[in-house]
Amino acid sequence: MATVLLVEDDHVVRDALLRSLTDLGHTVHATGTALDALRRVAAEIPDLIVLDLGLPDLDGADALRMLRGITDTPIIIATARDDEVEIVRLLRAGADDYMVKPFSSAHLEARVATVLRRTGRASRVEPEVIDTGSLRVDPGERQAYLDGTALALTRKEFDLLAYLAARPGRVVSRRELLEEVWRQPSIGEDQTIDVHLYWLRRKLGESAAEPRFLHTVRGVGIRFAAPA
């Protein structure tokens, strides 16, 4: 996990990014101004900064230069500006990556992971092992164990289980699963999730009618819950 400083003045966008980064397991500190961001970095340097350009007190490009004067922490620019000349200028000024809004949480996850890995901070974002007692999911090993026995899961079955298990008690929609696990837009009917859930449930010793871990919330999505 990493400590992320999110600098975004739009509270709707800030809340969405905060939720996405937190769901990825990061510790996130959010602010809406450049000056507050500079104060926070001076007091405690984060592992990563996600910086908007349209800030109310200082243009993000100026904030980038000032941040670069006090830290070499990787900085991802997240903005609606898509001018190529501006992008090149900011990258040369010290930005490590540049994302044009709007973007999906899957896109954000990939960029964050890439920047942290490239800058030598990947070890801080290693996903935590999920252990419910009877079920253990180890993202580092990409292996799941049920009652101490390793499960023979396909790559996508493991991805699906790990994503759900990392969000216990929360109902995850089919749309979110398609976007975050399958990395594809949620357009039209797709039976992929149903097929993978069927085989995953069989390997977990359960069914949709008699769930052990994966509970269907009809018309909403899937909720992971360990047996009491």
Query: The domain spanning residue 180 has which CATH number?
Result: 1.10.10.10
Cis peptide before 102 (omega within 30 of 0): yes
Query: The domain spanning residue 81 has which CATH number?
Result: 3.40.50.2300
Out of 79, 100, 125, a domain closes at 125
What's the pLDDT band for 215 if we cut at 50, 70, 90?
very high
DSSP output for 87-110: HHHHHHTT-SEEEESS--HHHHHH
What's the pLDDT band for 110 if we cut at 50, 70, 90?
confident
- Domain of residue 181 covers 130-224
pLDDT, tens digit (0-9, with 9 covering 90-100), for 165-198: 999 999 998 888 887 787 665 554 468 888 999 9
Can you give the pLDDT at residue 189? 46
